[in-house]
Structure 1
Amino acid sequence: MHNIKSWEGMLDLTKVATISLAFVVAACSPPGSSRVTQDVESSLVQSMPSGVEAISFLGDTLTPPLQPDDVRAVYMERYEEAERALAVAPANVDSLIWMGRRTAYLGRYRDAIDIYSEAIGLHPEDARLYRHRGHRYLSVRELDKAIADLERAAELTEGRMDEVEPDGLPNAMNIPTSTLQFNIWYHLALAHYVAGDFEAALDAQRNCLKVSVHPDSVVATSYWMYMTMRRLGLEDEAQELLDSIDAGIEIIESVAYLDLLLLFKGERSLGDLIGPSGDAATLQSTTTSYGLGVWHLLNGRLDDAHGVWESILEGRNQWSAFGYISAEGELARSAVR
């Protein structure tokens, strides 16, 4: 089993109990009842030691991920470019957004949240700010705040023309594959999914699929949507969605998601998908491993699923990956049942 650690060797058990309480409340409260979990999150943030970005759903302290020197050098160069642009136009919303994004890429998620919060004070009607802050609240495990921000972003974009969102970390073809509204619904769906609210997740996923205009977006949305439908017992609808996925679809980024969908279809084997783990884990292997855990779960192998999710947590440098966050959520929800 996963060992709970802390900044003093062992996390105060009252904090672990508080984190567990947040999941109990999230699971048992009616929609919109977020006051208690918000209070829980606030108390945890106030008690975090310096240098800690988040406390995991299992009580671990999470510090900025280590980055290879060459990668960090590139990130720092772009961060400094964003700093210079912001110095020229400190109230410019685009400059503030890029400052927040470049800060987050360095693993400084709390600082990024502060930047977006300052920007919201200046530009309270700009949906992009809530979209990005919501994403980073998700990164630091503050699900209620993430959901509130992303719902606000959805309100602000309702009935408006969608727009392509520029990539902060461009893919190999330098082609953006997502839009503002896609990212709003995608991250909102994920926040609900991690919290175990699969009905709310599915509602957001349906909206996300409507604005998924690039094949990569379709594949990514379909992956989470299929798992959600299966967990809600919507077998026929899940199969119809799965049947729409073809191995020949041309994608740029969503390789892991496509491989997992093909595994669910029986067109990939377990051996095809197993990747590096532990300290060698990558974003893609973490993403894939979470899906493998769900594959075991859907086939009635709960112990195997938990074993895979436990192994994901050994790759601590990937703690901001959605697969890692989702694995944490699974194990935390299991612990409080």
Structure 2
Amino acid sequence: MRNHEHLGRGGTNGGGGTFAEVDGEESLRRRSFPFAPLRVRMTIITSLLFACASVPVMPPDSEQMLPPDVEAISLLGKPLSSPPLAADVQKKREEELAQAQRDYDASPNNADAIIWLGRRTAYLGRYREAIDIFTEGIRKHPDDARMYRHRGHRYITVRRFRDAVKDLEFATLLIRGKPDEVEPDGQPNARNIPLGSLQSNIFYHLGLAYYLLGDDEHALTAYRQCLDRAKNPDRLVSTSHWTYMTLRRLGRIKEADKVLEPISIDLDVIENISYHKLLLMYGGEIAPEELIKQDANTTDGATILYGIANWYFYNGQSDRAQALWQKVLDGQQWAAFGYIAAEADVARPSPGPALRDHTSP
């Protein structure tokens, strides 16, 4: 165990409290599921208890003990402050936040205004403040799945994975039986085409939260739900990447190989080029050596280096894998999913994923 964390396949971390700690959630469950509130609650709590078995967690008020300039404590005990931004990016995001603040001030009960204030705050690396904003949104709009989706995302950022699971699992209940909807981009891509949807993002982040906890079976279930909602190449490659890695951790190599079948070099990927390249590498179309020269101080660099590290680990090259995990952690992109995942792997008592020993479903 490193410092305050103990992660394992089946482990957990971060954040305390109860499932109904937010005002309005219990009354919402009773209103939305009048005939089975206990079943709904127990389904989620049972999975959480399974994940938490025999693993110590951070105290519930740990985030309140942080200094003002620290956003989180890493799984290795390192204080994490807001990642640095280029001057022009900082200026643009501050202007966008100022506009979001004006919109909120004009209509503080408007759900969209709350969400954008939270998102713009997070884009500046003020993650704890963003979580507080989304918590306010949940109090005002307890049946709005978007609030739980965004707060769950930022719980992942600050290493409160268990709280992320609770939020995102609850969001899946709120979207049940409803049509999916396009999620506006906070940072538009080069073509200004929104690629994410509410439901795919809920399941994507839920899968990641379980993956980081080491609960691979639940991660796989969530990622498959996300794949069912993948309506464009970008969502296909991002979800396929994490699904592939989860299956490899489970030792289900044949299933992992099937995930690669829809992936071709000519997919029209707009944003998630790093995930696309990794999938091509997993399929043997790109050699790891072609991708390994990455800057760990960029989000794409952390993503690719983490994927290559896992590839080495799966294939018996643990020394090379650990060197790459450490290279990711030597970078500055601690909010990137590749960085968080590398941190989780290194923080385990035996570094790296606990691979299963079978090679078929």
- C-alpha deviation, 1:97, in angstroms: 0.1
- C-alpha deviation, 1:19, in angstroms: 1.8
Using the TM superposition, name which of 108-117 and 264-273 deviates more. 264-273
For residue 9 of structure 1, what is the aligned residue in structure 2? none
SS at match of 2:151: helix
- C-alpha deviation, 1:108, in angstroms: 0.2
SS at match of 2:191: coil
The TM-score with structure 2 as length reference comes to: 0.84
Instruction: Return closer, same or farther for 1:114/1:35 CA change in 2, 3 Å cut-off.
Output: farther
For residue 270 of structure 1, what is the aligned residue in structure 2? 288
For residue 323 of structure 1, what is the aligned residue in structure 2? 338
- C-alpha deviation, 1:277, in angstroms: 3.0
1:223 matches 2:241 = yes
- Out of 104, 113, 120, the residue aligned to residue 95 of structure 1 is 113
Instruction: Return closer, same or farther for 1:228/1:23 CA change in 2, 3 Å cut-off.
Output: closer
Please list every run of 5 or more consecutive structure 1 residues that lacks an aligned counterpart in the other structure.
Answer: 1-14
- Out of 122, 128, 132, the residue aligned to residue 104 of structure 1 is 122
Using the TM superposition, name which of 142-151 and 22-31 deviates more. 22-31
1:213 matches 2:239 = no
1:50 matches 2:68 = yes
Contact 2:5 2:57 in 1 (8 A): no
- Out of 300, 304, 319, the residue aligned to residue 288 of structure 1 is 304
> Where do 1:66-145 residues align within 5 Å?
66-145=84-163
Q: 1:304 and 1:256 mapped to 2: Cα distance?
A: 20
CA deviation string 1:217-259 (max 9, x = no partner): 0111111101111111212111111122111111101110010
Please list every run of 5 or more consecutive structure 2 residues that lacks an aligned counterpart in the other structure.
Answer: 14-44, 355-361
Q: 1:49 and 1:35 mapped to 2: Cα distance?
A: 30
Query: One-letter code of the match for 1:70?
Result: D
Aligned pair count reads 319
SS at match of 1:46: helix
Instruction: Return closer, same or farther for 1:223/1:202 CA change in 2, 3 Å cut-off.
Output: same
For residue 327 of structure 2, what is the aligned residue in structure 1? 311
CA deviation string 1:23-68 (max 9, x = no partner): 5982699732159979624243233222110001111100001111
Query: One-letter code of the match for 1:90?
Result: P
Instruction: Return closer, same or farther for 1:27/1:95 CA change in 2, 3 Å cut-off.
Output: closer
> Where do 1:6-21 residues align within 5 Å?
16-20=2-6
RCO (CA 8 Å, sep 6+): is it higher in 1 or 2? 2
Query: One-letter code of the match for 2:346?
Result: L
Q: 1:49 and 1:41 mapped to 2: Cα distance?
A: 16
Q: 2:78 and 2:8 mapped to 1: Cα distance?
A: 15
* Structure showing the higher helix proportion among its residues: 1
For residue 31 of structure 1, what is the aligned residue in structure 2? 47
Instruction: Return closer, same or farther for 1:97/1:38 CA change in 2, 3 Å cut-off.
Output: farther
1:332 matches 2:317 = no
SS at match of 1:243: coil
Query: One-letter code of the match for 1:26?
Result: G
RMSD: 2.2
1:198 matches 2:227 = no
